[in-house]
Structure 1
Amino acid sequence: MTEWTTTLRPGLPISFDGEQFTVAEIEGRRILLRQSGLAGPPKLRPVDISVLLFHPTTAVLAPVPKEETAAEAVLSGLADEEDDELTVKVQHLQEVLTGYRLGDAALALEGEPRADFAPGKPMLHRYAVKAAELRVGVSTVRRWTAALKKSGPAGLVMDRPVRSVVERADPRWVEMAESVLKAKVKASCPVRGLILTEIEEQLVREHGKGTVPLPARTMGYELLRQMSKGTNAFEDSTKGKRSIADGPQGTYGRLRATRPGEYVVLDTNSLDVFAMEPVTCRWCAAS
């Protein structure tokens, strides 16, 4: 059972001694309960706090709060790239709230506060400027700011949609990686490091140097692993890779016949089972 706590306060719905009440008043050790669901004048019942809390029938009727992952666990699970991205986002939002990216005038960076975030500037103006700067909606900046104020940096992590490592990578890098991997289908086992180098060279050739952000080496290996699942791209068996590449592209699943005899299932496996034919007494292999 999940353990949780709540404050004993006026208005708290509870069950006590087989009846439902609402806490009406608290005065020292004396708790005044108002019975719920009765027509006419409310029925009041005074009870000592120790009797109420330790009575075996007492139960709080408020809904159990939703369990949340500890902030430490949320932040420790971030990859290096995600941690850097979160740091930048927090600094942007601190500039919205305080005018300073590091959150305090004593830690002001050169040129801070900027005119649009100087003291006295309305928050609506700050939201609009930051939204235009980050190329997101004003409502998104306001939501991020509220999450930061409520739960700190961990609130920004829980606020975002869950994305795979491939979804977090630059789409241009992913597209080029798919093209390079596809070209290696019928080649011998490629080396991951050389594949990453080839992807980088083709991106520079197509988009220019420094235009497309490149993943770190470790993240690049993970991206290749995720993108090559089910293809045997980095296995030694070239024959196996070709077989998978030449196989049907559709998803295997259950066949649904629309008429009798539409599908015929053939089992060509031979069973190591024999039987004797009753008339000729010859041994027959089962099939």
Structure 2
Amino acid sequence: MTTWTTPLRPGLPISFDGEQFSIAEIEGRRVLLRPTASVVGAPQWRQVDVAVLLADPSTEILVPAPQQEPATAAVLSGLDDDADDELTWKFCHVQEVRTGYRLGSEELALPGEPRPDYAPGVPWMHRYAAKAAELGVSETTIRNWVRRVKRSGPAGLVHERRATSVLDRADHRWLDMARLVLKGHEKSSRPVRNLVLVEIEERLAKEYGKGTVSIPARTTGYELLRALAKGTNAFEGSTKGKRSIADAPKGTYGRLRATRPGEYVVLDTNCLDVFAMEPVTCRWVRCELTGDGSLQPVHHRSAADSRVDEVD
């Protein structure tokens, strides 16, 4: 369970007893609530005891919760050896700027500490400038490091890497053409990835001119095709399955919520090892058995036509 705190102060929007107020005044244990609505029938001013207000289950603070930061242990435990060494190196430099000692304490002083640029009484701006010159970075970088350590400890120095998709690194014109080429293979047999890449490159050269659009390397191209063809069976599975996916409705499937008994019926169909002769064409066809969950009479139909006959 995530918890956070906010000061109880005048102006704080709050919901109490099913109505919305803002705190107008706090005097001792007395809290004066001002109604936020200004229409006919709006709630009246309320005066409540602070203990009653905070203990009431209907009380809700109407301010957004602060963004939750990941736990320090989770951040630090996910570092590999190189990242851990980089974090230690940065933190030692920040400690020297803040305290004059790389290990953060006079009792753990290393030989020659504190150095003149970081001795007690040296102005902060001089410390920032000295450390920036020492490391070859800007003073803003050093100030940001110090600020992050003050706020989050060593975990604040961990560089946050945003997860990016391989699609974000490709030219949008290449992606558009790849989607167009893959769509052209929806109903055909399974294509060869390398030939698809060649087709994309040739069509791009014809439309935009050779060398105009950045062409990814073959390995990256395979990865891009895999991402674009996800869920379509374009390069995997059977051709029949690929055509079935291509013909599926494009809308989003959702959960059905029945509003009355019998509104929806769950059906189950199985192919039988039974064949019947179609009376018009005199062809042998396989029979299918379909039943619902209500134990109603079962129906059978052939795979060749859609006529349904009831079976006792």
Question: Whole-Å Cα distance in 2 between the matches of residues 245 and 116 of structure 1?
Answer: 61
Displacement after TM superposition at 1:162 (Å): 1.3
Displacement after TM superposition at 1:139 (Å): 1.0
Question: CA 1:3/1:125 → structure 2, altered by over 3 Å: closer, same or farther?
Answer: closer
Identity percentage of aligned residues:
57
In structure 2, list runs of 5 or more residues that go unmatched: 164-191, 198-217, 230-238, 240-279, 284-312
Question: CA 1:30/1:127 → structure 2, altered by over 3 Å: closer, same or farther?
Answer: same
| Correspondence for 1:109 | 110
- Give the aligned residue type for 1:59: E
Q: Which moved more, 1:87-96 or 1:28-37?
A: 28-37
TM-score by length of 1: 0.52
Q: Indicate the structure with greater helix content.
A: 1
Question: Whole-Å Cα distance in 1 between the matches of residues 144 and 138 of structure 2?
Answer: 10
Displacement after TM superposition at 1:100 (Å): 1.2
Question: Whole-Å Cα distance in 2 between the matches of residues 115 and 102 of structure 1?
Answer: 17
| Correspondence for 1:19 | 19
Question: Whole-Å Cα distance in 2 between the matches of residues 52 and 117 of structure 1?
Answer: 51
Q: Deviations over 1:247-280 (max 9, x none)?
A: 95244358xxxxxxxxxxxx8xxxxxxxxxx99x
Question: CA 1:105/1:4 → structure 2, altered by over 3 Å: closer, same or farther?
Answer: closer
| Correspondence for 2:160 | 161
**Count of residues paired in the alignment:** 184
Question: Whole-Å Cα distance in 2 between the matches of residues 9 and 89 of structure 1?
Answer: 40
Question: Whole-Å Cα distance in 2 between the matches of residues 122 and 37 of structure 1?
Answer: 52
| Correspondence for 1:125 | 126
Q: Which moved more, 1:73-82 or 1:28-37?
A: 28-37
State yes or no: 1:149 paired with 2:167: no
Displacement after TM superposition at 1:75 (Å): 1.4
| Correspondence for 1:8 | 8
Question: Whole-Å Cα distance in 2 between the matches of residues 57 and 50 of structure 1?
Answer: 13
Question: Whole-Å Cα distance in 1 between the matches of residues 162 and 136 of structure 2?
Answer: 20
Structure whose CA Rg is larger = 2
Displacement after TM superposition at 1:57 (Å): 3.3
| Correspondence for 2:32 | 32
Question: Whole-Å Cα distance in 1 between the matches of residues 28 and 3 of structure 2?
Answer: 26
Question: Whole-Å Cα distance in 1 between the matches of residues 78 and 132 of structure 2?
Answer: 28
TM-score by length of 2: 0.49
1:132 is paired with a residue of what secondary structure?
helix
Q: CA RMSD in A?
A: 3.9
Q: Which moved more, 1:132-141 or 1:21-30?
A: 21-30
1:21 is paired with a residue of what secondary structure?
strand
Question: CA 1:54/1:245 → structure 2, altered by over 3 Å: closer, same or farther?
Answer: same
| Correspondence for 1:88 | 89
Displacement after TM superposition at 1:71 (Å): 1.1
Displacement after TM superposition at 1:117 (Å): 1.3
| Correspondence for 1:270 | none
Alignment of 1:161-180 (within 5 A): 161-162=160-161
Greater relative CO (CA pairs within 8 A, separation 6+): 1
